[in-house]
Amino acid sequence: GATIAIGCEYNPATSEELTGGFLKNDYPRFYKVEDILKLFEGHIKSIIYKHDVRPTDRNTVGAVMTVFELK
């Protein structure tokens, strides 16, 4: 029955561009709310709020956020 809020930066740059090639690309990046919700698949009771980057803003830095309740 917990309520969870997760937000993260959306950045259209590649991992290599962001780190100058110094870090490996073995960590997940979240491009849309559905990417975050997949981590909790089967455990979500309801989605209270979600914010995705609009398709017209996909070439600029933005944010992805969701608030949801667990079963």
Interatomic CA distance for residues 11 and 46, integer angstroms: 27
Q: What pLDDT is recorded for position 24?
A: 66
Q: Would you report the helix, strand and coil content of the chain in percent, each value rounded to 5?
A: 25, 35, 40
pTM of the model: 0.79
pLDDT, tens digit, 9 for 90 and up, residues 20-68: 767 666 677 888 999 999 999 999 999 999 999 988 988 999 999 999 9
Interatomic CA distance for residues 4 and 48, integer angstroms: 10
CA dihedral defined by 18, 21, 24, 29, rounded to 10 degrees?
20
pLDDT, tens digit, 9 for 90 and up, residues 11-29: 888 877 877 767 666 677 8
Q: What pLDDT is recorded for position 47?
A: 97
